[in-house]
Structures are given as structure tokens and as C-alpha cells.
Amino acid sequence: MAKEVIYLDFEEEIKEIDLQINELKVYSTQKGISYRHEIRDLEKERIRVISRIYNNLTPWNIVQISRHPYRPILGDYIKYLFDDFKELHGDKSFGDDRSLICGLCKINFEKVMLIGHNKGRSTEENIERNFGSPHPEGYKKALMKMKFAEKFKIPIITLIDTPGAYPGVGGEERGIFHAIANNLMEMSRIKVPIISVVIGEGGSGGALGIGVSDRLSMFQYSYYSVISPEGCAAILWKDASYASEAAESLKLTSRELLKLGLIDDIIKEPFGGSHNNLHDAVFYLKSYLLRTLRELRRKKLSDLLEERYEKLRNVGKISQESKK
């Protein structure tokens, strides 16, 4: 059964064209009259409208796309991109956090350790996975599996998609801040290549906790920010409805972050966003990962670690030329 089409606020024109196309198809079936020329013209117009809208997206539009209900999530990439995935559970201390998944798998014939935020589709799945917001034990589990990968010289891939780490009392009691800080320190000196990709939301310390890497990249319509737009608006304007203004100020889009030197690459998305074409999204991510793995494999370990250190030290650095 075909899934229901979900349109975002700024896609109203696309919705109107789709309604017209569907009406003509129904009339064609009911009346036995061919409307193929009219339908073809509308489909061409639809492509033009999508191109115009997606070439002029605001930062808030991009945040909305990153949260689209049909946007590919970790489970989709595990199913369609990686082979022989074997999940590894638990932090050997408190429990197994379902909002952060770790496991051994292959991409083509390259063995990797995959770690990623685990959102769901349905309400039940989201509740089970805490809406992709990890607890301290999730980050401890991730670090344990990274250490395992380091021991056996297995490259690490992390896929980031979280609104942020869980901010509840339980997380504070079990030291969420310490778990994230410890991951930042330990990931900076893990002796294997690390690739991180923001596939959807990249919110706050929740994203940083698995985001220290040799190559940090983002999908074209994802975001990466110190705080969610709603959280920023609630602090600065005392009103979460100013989220669109906050998104503009935060410089959270892939284009802005690449310009600032905070990410290394932007991974192209299919026409109209990854939520409209899972197959192409998988292809673009797979091509990027294989290319980057080959590049990092050729580097000496000492050079890899030195470059990672320098990269971290240069975050936020402003040259004298950029001030002029």
C-alpha cells in the first residue's frame, strides 16, 4: 500500500499540483478520456516548482526537512547500505540504550564499526528509542565499541541524527555531561579512521558525543547546531515560536558550516530531498563513505592523529584576514 504523502509548510504549491495530477488521473479512469498531455505539462511544472523552492530554502525550511517523517533514518541505512550488521549491546554498567545503536558490519567488503542515533517511525518506536535522544549509557556503550574497533583496527563510521542528548533527571543523575565529555576526549585519540555524517538532526552535545572524527560531513538538508532552534528561541526570545529567526542566526545549515570550516564535506541529496528517494540517498552516502575510507586508509596513523588534533584545535579559529 502506498504511503500517505506528507507536505511541509513551504510545499503548498507542490501539493496543489499533485492534487491536479491525481484528479486528472481519476477523470481519465472514470470517463475513459486521455489527459496525458495535461498530466505531462503538470509534471514538468511540478519539477520547476520543486527546483525553485529547494533552491531558495531558508534555514528553518532545512530544519523541517531534516525532521520529515519519511526522511531516511539509521535503520534504513543499516538495511540498504551496510551488509551483515551484527548489533553489539550494553555498556556493562547500567543498561542497553536503544536510542544509540552500535554494531559490526561491512560496506562492500570493508569491515567497519557502525554507531548511530536510532530514531523510530511510529509513536511506539519513538518512545522505545527515546526519540533518538541518548542517555549516558548510550554514549558509554558507543565508546566501548569504539575501543573494541581500535583494538582490532576497524574503521569507525558514526551517523548523527538526534535533537540532543536526553535532558531528564535520570541522565543528570548518571552523568550525561561526563559521558559526552569523556567521548570527546577519547575519540580525539582513537587510533583508527573515524568518519561522521549528520544524516538528519545534529543537535547539541547529543551530536557531539559521537561526532569527533577525521571527516565530519553533512547531508545537504540536515542541520548541526549547539542548540535546537526552538531551544534557542525559548532562551533569547522567551518564545519557541521564534524558531525560524533562531535558525537563521545559528548558522546551522551545511552550506554555512562548510563556509565556516566546521565541516569537511556536503553530501548531495536526491531531487526534492532524501525523504523522496531513499535509493539515491543510500547511493550518495555509500559513495562518499567508500571514497573517504580509501582516502583515510592511505594515511599514516601518526599523520591521521595529528591532523585530527589540529582540526579540533582550529574549531572556531578566526584568521586576521577573515576579520578584515
| Closest C-alpha among 314, 119, 310 to residue 202 | 119
Please list the residues that pair with 115 across neighbouring strands.
Answer: 102, 158
Contact assessment for residue 96 and residue 90, using Cβ atoms and an 8 Å cutoff: yes
Read off the amino acid at residue 167. P
| Closest C-alpha among 98, 94, 147 to residue 120 | 98
> pLDDT at position 258, please?
94
> pLDDT at position 314, please?
85
CB count within 10 Å of CB 238 equals 8
> pLDDT at position 322, please?
47
Please list the residues that pair with 201 across neighbouring strands.
Answer: 223
Residue where the block lists cell 577525521? 214
Length of the chain (residues): 324
Residue where the block lists cell 530554502? 57
Instruction: Extract the C-alpha cell encoding 219.
Output: 547531508
Domain 63-315: CATH architecture, name and number where available:
Alpha-Beta Complex (3.90)
Contacts 24+ apart (CB under 8 A), 36-43: 42/17
CA distance 239 to 2: 38
Q: Where are the domains of the chain?
A: 11-56, 63-315
> pLDDT at position 319, please?
56
Q: φ, ψ for residue 5 (rounded to 5)?
A: -80, 130
CA distance 77 to 126: 17
> pLDDT at position 36, please?
86
Instruction: Extract the C-alpha cell encoding 244.
Output: 525560524
> pLDDT at position 29, please?
83
Please list the residues that pair with 113 across neighbouring strands.
Answer: 104, 156
- Helix 229-236 / helix 59-66 crossing angle, nearest 10 deg: 130
CA distance 72 to 68: 9
> pLDDT at position 220, please?
97
SS3 string, 76-107, reads: HHHHHCCEEEEEECCCCCCCCCCCEEEEEEEE
> pLDDT at position 119, please?
93
Q: Containing H/E element for 40? A: helix 36-54
Q: Residues in the chain with pLDDT < 70?
A: 1-2, 318-324
CA distance 23 to 46: 15
| Closest C-alpha among 126, 158, 155 to residue 139 | 158
